[in-house]
Amino acid sequence: MSGDASRLLDAAYGEGAASVEGAAPGRVTLVGEHVDYVGGRIACLAIDLSLQVAVRPSRDGWWRAASGSRRVSRSQLVLAGDIGDRLFAAALALGRIGQAVVPLEMAVSGELPAGAGLASSAAVILAAQVAVLRLSGRRLTAEELVRAALVAEREIAGIPCGDLDQRAIVYAEPGAALLLDCSRGWRRSVPWPWSGVSLLVASSGESHDVGGRQYRRRREEAERACAALGVAGCQEIGERWRELEPALRPRGRHVATETRRADAAARALECADPEALGRLMDESHESLRRDCEVSTPLLDAMVTAVRLVPGCHGARLVGAGFGGSIVALIDDGAASSCAAALEKVSGVTGATWLVHPSAGLETTADDVVGPPQPGW
Ligand code: GLA
């Protein structure tokens, strides 16, 4: 297989052993943000913006990584706060779950923007793991791949994330959203019911950081809210967030209401009701702004501006927040006026994308992901 990532690898390090590629899509959350780490429900989808990673064995035992014009190399597999970290963490994690991994040269390319709240971090790790599995001719079950990606992100890169991104990228089915239940690992596909209604993603230009202190604090506060109520996860809170001490009450209310909105979002899709889904997206944003406190004035202004455009059904910030992007549910015919309204507010041009539900790795990488094949 030879694509942009393979060409970048050759350009960066000269022609060498044949490279192998893996690709992974980004994800958009429809409703259900900041609940995965406390066992909530999420309506989400994989999108048609992706990343590709090319890998090939290193000639001299050094680990190398290339992304755009940046190059890094190491004699040992350690993290150094640069573009090699996620790529090397992906390989290291496969080693930790018992796969033999040799030193590699790796390159990443693709149109999924980094730091935009579209799960580029999980996508780069999963694309790299798919490539490494292809290179070594090995196969993992979908659940093993999710776990390997989480080992890379949490244990090796030290990011305290939940499992939303990895599950969406692995399990999404083509043309459908996914309702994930993070307390039981349960999931259900919900077909995207419209041909003329899509999602418009727009970057604010403010880069966000899931590894940052604020994300970690939101997670700890949501966990403390659950512990104070003696519940295993946010689905059990119901109206009991009212019993929490004042400082934790908004966090408790966010996770309790957001998980219920995700169920309602799945029903809105089943009823093909864009107004209902748009309303739930609006409510989700308001909860993320007021109770979870992960929005920014710019994200709020973008959401407010796009909602005023005829043909926009609803809008919210997407991903961890603190910057990143917003997503709007729109009639396709309103795409250019929505994009123009968003660009006017953000001052960022060329960073809006009309995205569609796409297949996850269980479908697109079934040569290396899925149940063991006969003869394995
Ligand atoms: C990031 C994390 C996810 C999730 C979202 C917020 O994308 O990686 O686990 O917590 O933020 O919903």
pLDDT band at 1 (very low <50, low <70, confident <90, very high): very low
Question: Which of 289, 298, 299 minimizes the C-alpha distance to 327?
Answer: 299
Question: Is the model's pTM score more than 0.75?
Answer: yes
DSSP-based three-state secondary structure for 199: strand
- Is 33 close to ligand 1, i.e. is its CB under 6 Å away? yes
Task: Report the DSSP beta bridge partners of residue 202.
Answer: 326, 352
- Is 320 close to ligand 1, i.e. is its CB under 6 Å away? yes
**Averaged pLDDT of the chain:** 95
Question: Which of 141, 114, 98, 119 minimizes the C-alpha distance to 27?
Answer: 119
Question: Count of alpha carbons within 13 Å of 374, Cβ hemisphere only?
Answer: 0
Q: Are 152 and 86 in contact (CB under 8 A)?
A: yes
Specify the amino acid at residue 137.
Answer: G
Distance CA 194, CA 314 (A): 15
152-159 average pLDDT score: 95
- Is the alpha carbon torsion for 241, 284, 272, 360 positive or negative? negative
Ligand 1 mean position to 218 CA, how many Å?
11
Catalytic residue (one of 36, 165, 181, 291): 165
| pLDDT for 77 | 83
Which atom of ligand 1 lies nearest, measured to the CA of 122?
8
Which atom of ligand 1 lies nearest, measured to the CA of 161?
9
User: Tens digit of pLDDT for each residue in 344-368?
Assistant: 999 999 999 999 999 999 999 999 9
| pLDDT for 103 | 95
Ligand 1 mean position to 165 CA, how many Å?
7
User: Tens digit of pLDDT for each residue in 41-70?
Assistant: 999 999 999 999 999 999 999 999 999 999
pLDDT band at 305 (very low <50, low <70, confident <90, very high): very high
| pLDDT for 78 | 85
| pLDDT for 2 | 67
- Is 312 close to ligand 1, i.e. is its CB under 6 Å away? no
Distance CA 321, CA 346 (A): 15
Distance CA 61, CA 219 (A): 39
Q: Is 282 a catalytic residue?
A: no
Mutate to test the pocket of ligand 1, among 33, 36, 325 (most ligand atoms within 8 A of CB): 36
- Is 283 close to ligand 1, i.e. is its CB under 6 Å away? no
| pLDDT for 101 | 87
| pLDDT for 359 | 98
Percent of the chain with pLDDT over 70: 98
User: Tens digit of pLDDT for each residue in 98-121?
Assistant: 888 899 999 999 999 998 999 999
Question: Which of 367, 375, 362, 354 minimizes the C-alpha distance to 47?
Answer: 354
